[in-house]
Amino acid sequence: MNAPARPAAGYVLGIDFGSTTGKAVVLDAATGRIAASAVSQKGAVSDEGVKAALAQVFGELGIGPKDILRCVATGYGRRMLDIADRTITEITCHARGAVSLEPSARMVIDIGGQDSKVIAVDEAGLVTQFAMNDRCAAGTGKFLEVLARAVNIELARMGPAALAAEGSVKITSMCATFAETEVIALLAEGCDKAVVLDGVHAAVANRVMGLVSRVGQREPIVMTGGVAQNIAAVTHIERALSTRLIIPSHAQVAGALGAALFALDDLRTDGVSQRLLDPKIEDQVEAVEAGGLPCAPACAQKPGEQPIAFQRAPGA
Ligand code: ADP
């Protein structure tokens, strides 16, 4: 009788080269558990963020690139990394990471620096449908960053400040540039900062609700991405969807975690695993990113029009 295959000794790596941050997750190849993770911000689409995140995880574990048995990269700048054996889109990696953190999840809301995504997943964790807001700041972390600057408040403080608001105001512009003008006008009229910030977060939730309605709300919902750290964004989205969101402990590194799990599958199958990966969904995401399909930026939409959504072909 053949002896059972011994789990590989060493590590696999997932990298999420995001628009604002670099994220890395290292898994122990033998156990599949998270050995180290890091997030680093070094400027827009800069490989410095990824380098810093890698230096942190390697330093923590006392290892180097030679100890990495497989590496998968995802995110905005995923094609810019030599260390990666292959790349997988953010939609697929975020879904995989989020479901591994919260196996009951049927929907993932990911709000990062440059885009927001709503992903429906089946019981196995496979992406069935998604909607994304790409190349437009509406409903993204960028929108919050621009308006935090306009209100002159630190990003980490804008959520708690908004929750303290007494009263509300509606920010009507979805476009970050127009919303900034609107916010400055409201402040000039004497509107309270906290009330303005509350309106800013409500506008983000409104945009996210549009994406959710395109896909069709499913529960439980997990929220990932940097904006999951913003308590007012979470609260407003919960209110808009009339449900609680699950925020896992590794929310900001969910995409890197998903990439690392694909790297582990590749290692274990000694090839390019297709487990929990739908090539048709991958093609659709790549097409949106390449501009081959309309990404429906909010400012180009007519009133009442919804952002575009995609669905897995029946039987695919
Ligand atoms: P990307 O993957 O596109 O680089 P992330 O998922 O890292 O983006 O999310 C970045 C966004 O997260 C920022 O634009 C910001 O809005 C939000 N963010 C990051 N850190 C914090 C924080 N401490 N508090 C509130 N929001 C934060």
114-126 pLDDT, tens digit per residue, is 889 999 999 888 9
Is the pLDDT at 304 greater than 60? The verdict is no
Among the atoms of ligand 1, which is closest to the Cα of residue 20? 4
pLDDT tens track for 22-61:
999 999 999 999 999 999 988 776 789 999 999 999 999 9
pLDDT at 296 over 70: no
For residue 314, pLDDT over 50 is answered with no
Q: Which residue, among 303, 273, 255, has the nearest Cα to 119 in the 3D structure?
A: 255
Determine the Cα–Cα distance for residues 189 and 192; give it in Å rounded to an integer.
9
Q: Which atom of ligand 1 is nearest to the CA of 90?
A: 2
> What pLDDT is attached to residue 293?
47
Q: How many whole angstroms from 283 Cα to the centroid of ligand 1?
A: 27
Q: Which pLDDT score, from 0 to 100, does residue 245 have?
A: 98
Q: If you measure from the C-alpha of residue 270 to the centroid of ligand 1, how many angstroms do you get, rounded to a whole number? A: 35
Q: What residues are in contact with ligand 1 under a 6 Å CB criterion?
A: 18-21, 75, 112-114, 141-142, 144-145, 155-156, 159, 225-227, 229-230, 252
Distance CA 235, CA 200 (A): 13
Are 230 and 114 a contacting pair, CB within 8 Å? Answer: no
Q: For ligand 1, what atom is nearest to the CA of residue 156?
A: 24
Write down the pLDDT at residue 6.
54
Residue 308 has pLDDT above 80, yes or no: no
Inform me whether the pLDDT recorded for 257 exceeds 90. Answer: yes
Closest CA to 275 of 107, 98, 130, 124: 124
Determine which of 33-42, 55-64, 159-168, 304-313 has the lowest per-residue pLDDT on average: 304-313
